[in-house]
Amino acid sequence: MINKFISRTIKKKFIGGTIILISSLILIYILSSMYFINHFFFNTEVNGVNLSLKNYKDANEILKDEISKYNIEIIGRDKRNEIIKGEDIKIYYKEKDIGEEIKKYQNIFKWGLSLINKKDYYIEGIIDFDEEILLEKVSGLDIVNNNIIDPINVEFKYINGSYEINPEVYGNKINKNKFIKVLIDSIKSGRKTLDLDNELCYENPEYTMDCEIAIETNDLLNKYVKTKITYLFGENKEELNGDIISKWITINDDLSVTINEKYLKEYIARLSEKYNTVGIERDFKTSIGKSVKVKGGYYGWKINSIAEEKMLLENIKLGAVLEKEPIYTQKALYRDGDDIGNTYVEINITRQYLWFYKNGQLVTEGSIVSGDPRKGYSTALGTYMLNYKQKDAVLNGPGYEAKVTYWMPFNGNIGIHDASWRYSFGSNIYQNDGTHGCVNAPISLAKKIFDNIDSGTPVICYEE
């Protein structure tokens, strides 16, 4: 019973003591709050000057004194720091009722929060200086003028069959307009340091190696140079690969990729020059054993440059790996050698004689009559091909119409055909009574050719 009484007594004393303590603390806090009717809270700065616990009426003198000693340190890249002294730019303090300004924000009963929370106040218009002098100072700073390295975007280099990304260069070139604006704001707010990097005052590269567009560009470049196209020209091959394609690629300022079609066209033009055979000079061994040079005509291989350029561009964009023939406007029967092969019609204009070989075997031969040179109708020299053959055709020209049984054109409206109106062939007939350019043959000769010849067969016209 006694123990319970003692326990209750101790408990009452503890509760009573706690109430007295809390009440005392509240009273002390309230009495302390009265102090802050005319004083700044703990951890208070105004325009960069520490006014913690200072009386409002002393604020102007403190600010004036501190601002007169003001300097700002400019922190640049590569440990290139500069200091601008307030006295050099004629800095001064413009008096203002600072207490009244701060009272708007200080609730005296919340002073306790200032023990853990710092408050930086900026009051506009209390710090001023000569901006023209500041601009001159900025223009003379070492970090603005000397050893300037321009920023460089990420770059792409073609090495050993693929593209690699070269890192960007940040450099140290300052954006002067941005720097001046931030510097003026910093001085007016009383900041003691200005970190140019943190305030984004440098001109930085727009594209870095980690940005998405740089990675996409590198992937696209490598797709293009993985292209490998092997062009087939009979026994010969021409390989187009990344070593060539990389020289055609332009990487634009925005990292877009362009394939320079001028170089692509030049490449196809070189293939055409090397492998087109239409109209080239050929060394031809005649049936009488002589070798002659035959130039001109329409027989041979001819690349379709426009179509192949378009196809090549598509293949590069696909990163294609393939073997192919180019797209041709015209093909010959054979690719290698003189591309004539061993099936052809041989017409000797000088001797007025024709031979027709098929698979290396002489099928037929005989005298002919060719175009009349005196009238300007000489049969054109060169290597041609049979366009088609037609039976029972009617040939029309200036002042004539002729029915023929076997019509075999090889050069436009010039062709081989029978001529029932002629009673003799060969010799020098063509010089006095030649054709309008066609090759007249006896009907038996024309028939033999007609029955054995196919479209595309070479027709070689030459003079000794």
Q: Is the dihedral of CA 131, 137, 141, 145 positive or negative?
A: positive
| Residue of 433, 381, 434 whose CA lies nearest to 410 | 381
Q: Please, where are the H alpha helices in 142-211?
A: 142-145, 176-189
Round to whole Å and give the CA distance between 434 and 370.
Answer: 6
Phi/psi region, residue 13 (left: phi>0; alpha: psi -120 to 50; beta: rest), is alpha
| Exposure b/e, 263-286, CB count within 10 A at least 16 = b | ebbebbeebbeebbbbebebebeb
Instruction: Tell me the three state secondary structure of residue 124.
Output: coil
Burial class for 462, CB neighbours closer than 10 Å (0-12, 13-18, 19+) = buried
202: helix, strand or coil: strand
Is 438 among the catalytic positions? yes
Rg (CA), the chain: 50
The residues facing 25 across adjacent strands are none
Cβ atoms 318, 228 nearer than 8 A:
no
Q: Is 417 annotated in the active site?
A: yes
Q: What is the dihedral of CA 410, 411, 412, 415, to 10 degrees?
A: -50
Residue labelled with tokens 């069959």:
161
Locate 114 and state its tokens.
């200032």
Q: At what angle do helices 305-318 and 261-275 cross, to 10 degrees?
A: 130
**Cα separation of 405 and 392, whole Å?**
4
Q: Under a CB-based contact definition with an 8 Å cutoff, are residues 312 and 345 in contact?
A: no
Annotated catalytic residue: which of 39, 417, 436, 461? 417
Catalytic residue among 39, 201, 436, 438: 438
Enumerate the active-site residues.
417, 438
